Amino acid sequence: MVSIMKKTKFRPISYFLLILFFLFSGLAYAQSGFEDDRVMLQGFYWESYRHGNPERFPGVGQKKWYEIVKDQSPAIRAGRFDLIWLPPPSFAGEISAGYNPREYFNLNNTYGNLQQHRAMLENLLRNGVEPVADIVINHRDGVRGWADFKNPDWDTWAITAGDEAFLNPDSEVYNTPESQRGAAEESPADYAGHGGTTYGYGSFRDLDHTNKTVRRDIIRYLLQLKSLGYRGWRYDMVHGYHARWIALYNRATHPTFSVGEYDWAAHPEQRGWIWHTATTPDDLTTSSNVFDFTTFFILKDNKGNYGALYGYGNGIGMVGDNSDGHPWKNRSVTFIKNHDTGYRTNEDGSPQKNHESEDFLNDWQVEQGYAYILTHPGVPTVFWKHYFDWGDELKNKITALINARKVAGVHAGSVLHTQHNARQKGIYAALVKGRHGDLYVRIGGSDEDWQPFYSNYHDYREYAHGSGWKVWVKVGGNPPVRQAPLKEALPIPEYHEANWFDVPDAWLE
Ligand SMILES: [Ca+2]
Ligand SMILES: [Ca+2]
């Protein structure tokens, strides 16, 4: 049920504290720290917004996306997924994937209306799955023009000074005096070596996060989303504004999970960005995660080239990075496809330019990709279509891999021991240390080439296998193959609109 409470102007302080307690009573889960043992499902794909809009998109069914996800909640629980990354939650026009938010506080959108939105989140929480919202706050869209912002109502002061809206004669705010614009994009020199500013996105209005009203409304928005049932944040395009604002927003809203999409190819900057998102400065355990695009690119470009998976001996990508003595794997979210990569279509159904084919085909390629990320450190992400739409065989294999990970207790910070005897045979094998036991994985070749006893490991069971890969688990007492426990239901919060929330000035600094 969605209940809408009126904001009261004067409220006794004890009531306010009670609300604070309510908001943060999930602290046991808050800010994942190191050794996160959760697995994420990306709960949508590029075309998801077309569902349930049959006049415009016949052939994809009558059901809105939020209803589809709601109905799959028990299956998501059965798959042992802990987190689900959902699409941008705000109104962005009648037909939109949501990456051009128009009305942050309006949680009706192309994926479903507010009631369907809430019902989906309630069902996910009942099934023990933590919803993660896609937070698009580098930029926003006007209602009809370039800068007519509604809900919250902002003016040109909210837009960065150098935005295209002030430079393009087609814009209704062309040539706005400097004094009525926001501040310029900031310098991220603390963590980016390019010497320039944070990224300005040419398609929509870049927001000035140095403005207190912008920050206050964003915090209200995040608290509104939390009250609707979201527990974590996936921040879009985070190279577009300074990392210190992520630290501030996370400090104010206590997500149980935080990950940013930083410039895909800028690996060292990603590290610096992670560092500067810490809610407690210089404490990496309080930082946001980043999507590990480096692992993605290495896996994509080296399918069947198993020697590449050893990296410099410590593995690949952000997961394999221990620069400055820090375990960056604890801040890495791995994946082999997202809504922006591989095959994608235009609204007429034709393939998009540069998205004509998949990076991982529905055969040994996608299987071996998951055999890698689901057995390795970092927080692995499974793509919706791979799990629900690419056939039961792949679904069952992914399920078996997640189960093996959980039975062994593999987590984001797990220690990896690559196997030199496998490397000599041109294939990949590793021992991954879990909380409850050891996991062994071989990618490439067959049992003839490598299995755990070749390295003198013993007392293990086979947990999963597929096209050119196998996974074994060793736990104390060597019991028969087990199923990892299912998650308990999570609490369902009371919903409040954004303006109901008071954001103290102290939260803005
Ligand atoms: Ca812009
Ligand atoms: Ca920007």
List the chain domain ranges: 28-413
Q: Mean pLDDT throughout 49-76?
A: 96
> 221: CA distance to ligand 1 center in Å?
21
> 206: CA distance to ligand 2 center in Å?
5
Q: Which residues share a beta bridge with 393?
A: none
- In the structure, what pLDDT confidence band is assigned to residue 405 with cuts at 50, 70 and 90? very high
> 205: CA distance to ligand 1 center in Å?
4
pTM for the model: 0.94
| Ligand having the closest approach to the CA of 162 | 1
> 25: CA distance to ligand 2 center in Å?
33
pLDDT at 27 over 50: no
> 173: CA distance to ligand 1 center in Å?
13
Q: What is the distance between the alpha carbons of residues 161 and 176, in angstroms, rounded to a whole number?
A: 9
DSSP helix, strand, coil percent of the chain (3-state; round to 5) = 35, 15, 55
The 10 Å Cβ neighbour count of residue 182 is 24
pLDDT given at position 18: 40
> 184: CA distance to ligand 1 center in Å?
11
| Ligand having the closest approach to the CA of 202 | 1
> 309: CA distance to ligand 2 center in Å?
35
Q: Mean pLDDT throughout 431-457?
A: 98
pLDDT given at position 9: 36
Token digits of residue 371: 């055999």
pLDDT given at position 138: 98
- In the structure, what pLDDT confidence band is assigned to residue 31 with cuts at 50, 70 and 90? low
| Ligand having the closest approach to the CA of 183 | 2
| Ligand having the closest approach to the CA of 137 | 2
**pLDDT tens digits, residue range 283-342?**
999 999 999 999 999 999 999 999 999 998 889 999 999 999 999 999 999 999 999 999
Token digits of residue 451: 């299995």
- In the structure, what pLDDT confidence band is assigned to residue 21 with cuts at 50, 70 and 90? very low
> 101: CA distance to ligand 1 center in Å?
13
Taking Cα atoms as reference points, which of 379, 302, 392 lies closest to residue 334?
379
| Ligand having the closest approach to the CA of 138 | 2
pLDDT at 2 over 90: no
**pLDDT tens digits, residue range 417-429?**
999 999 999 999 9
pLDDT given at position 413: 98
pLDDT given at position 382: 99
| Ligand having the closest approach to the CA of 209 | 2
- In the structure, what pLDDT confidence band is assigned to residue 15 with cuts at 50, 70 and 90? very low
* CATH architecture group of domain 28-413: Alpha-Beta Barrel (3.20)
pLDDT given at position 74: 98
